[in-house]
Chain A
Amino acid sequence: MNLLNYLPEILLGQIPEAIYFALFMIYTKRLKEHRFKFIILMIIEYTLIMETLRFNIYAHLFVFIMTYLLLKVLYKEKSQIIDIFTFGIASIILMIISIVSYLVIWKTIGIYYIFILVSRILMFSFILVFKDKLYKIQDLYKKLWNRNDKIKKKMKSATFRALNVVTFNFMFFIINCCLVFILMNGGV
């Protein structure tokens, strides 16, 4: 199979998703420097991993690890372990958008390109609408992550972390279920 077979998938699937993830992290972490570099490296990293390990759960695991490392290299100490969970939130939102688009468009109209187009529009609309509010995610993490008994918090640090771990693990399970579903249906 030559590269042309994969081209629509890369152009419509992986590149927009990589840009979405990069923008999500940029707005959430209020990153001012190396924005363009980060987006380009995210595209390369995401596309390479997703194409090398097609429909494989390890691809998603590597994307998480590589994105964290990429942030660490580019932004040094501004990158923290909580970024993994921020990236997880971006994945959950993307998953919800894709599932809703699948159920509404693919199941009714049944045209692949319309389904892809709608899901991409929804994905970037989300970023555009919430770009000025996304930083609140990081602020919430900064506020609740570290244990500090002197400050009265809505949720204890241990509870907040446990909630994140549980959500993160279940998210991976759901990603795997989606992958199995796609493979059973011969790919979307």
Chain B
Amino acid sequence: MEWLKKNIGGIIFNIAETIVIFLVGLALKLEYKFIIMLMLTFLISRGMFGKALHFKTWYRCLIWSTLIMLSIFVILKVDLVISILFAIFGALIMTGRSDITCLYLWKNHGEPSKYQDIIDFIKYNEFDDRLIEFEKKLKESNTIEYLIYKYRFKDHKTFGEISDLLELDGPRVAEKLDKVAFAVRIYCKF
């Protein structure tokens, strides 16, 4: 009961939104079964991809959801298979799954990585006492940060790969990597 009280506004809004979208489909003279099928395809795909993006205001949510579904309904006038594919694609775009994961790794105009000094240091001083000590301490104090350090500087993995391996968002990996980079520079004094 408490849950219902808390979420009643959201439930009413979702029902109203579904009705509006359904009416848009009907206005385009589409068959009931196709309208329902496309709506379900979008909804289920979005749920399966996870980390759905939400609009901050209800009217934005209503306007954009209606427009997205309208554009998918319009594609249905072209081809059923394409409209299903576009519903899945649209759903993917509206989730965190389509985030640009390697955003912080991109180098512009062939500039070297901002961690190039660390990469070079590790490459040529693999058995340096300070470095070995740093790695040991990092491993003991913070496993995630140690893994980020290892993946990036020793295994030369990309941000995308690190993000996938550790199930962390790109910005979070970048933030932690900056912290580790700062620590290794200070500890190893270079």
Q: Residues on A close to B: CB < 8 A? A: 30, 32, 57-58, 61, 77-78, 80-82, 141-142, 145-148, 156-159, 161-166, 168-170, 172-173, 176
Contacts and interface: CB of A to CB of B under 8 A. Distances in A.
Given A146-B171, A173-B75, A162 B68 contact: yes
Q: Chain B binding site: helix, strand, loop or mixed by DSSP?
A: helix
Interface in B76-124: 77-79, 82, 85-86, 89-90, 92-94, 96, 98-100, 102-103, 105-106, 108-110
Contacts of A142: 100, 103, 106
A32 B82 contact: no
Given A146-B171, A172-B86, A173-B77, A159 B71 contact: no
Interface residues of B, number: 40
Nearest to A173: B74
A158 B90 contact: no
Given A77-B158, A166-B68, A158 B75 contact: no
Contacts, number: 93
Contacts of A80: 100, 102
Contacts of B160: 77
A148 B108 CA distance: 21
B60 interface: yes
A77 B60 CA distance: 33
7 A-B pairs closest in CB distance: A169-B71, A162-B64, A158-B53, A77-B102, A176-B78, A165-B90, A166-B71
Question: B60, B86, B93, B171 — which one has the most chain A CB atoms within 10 A of its CB?
Answer: B93
A149 B119 CA distance: 31
Nearest to A164: B93
B56 interface: yes
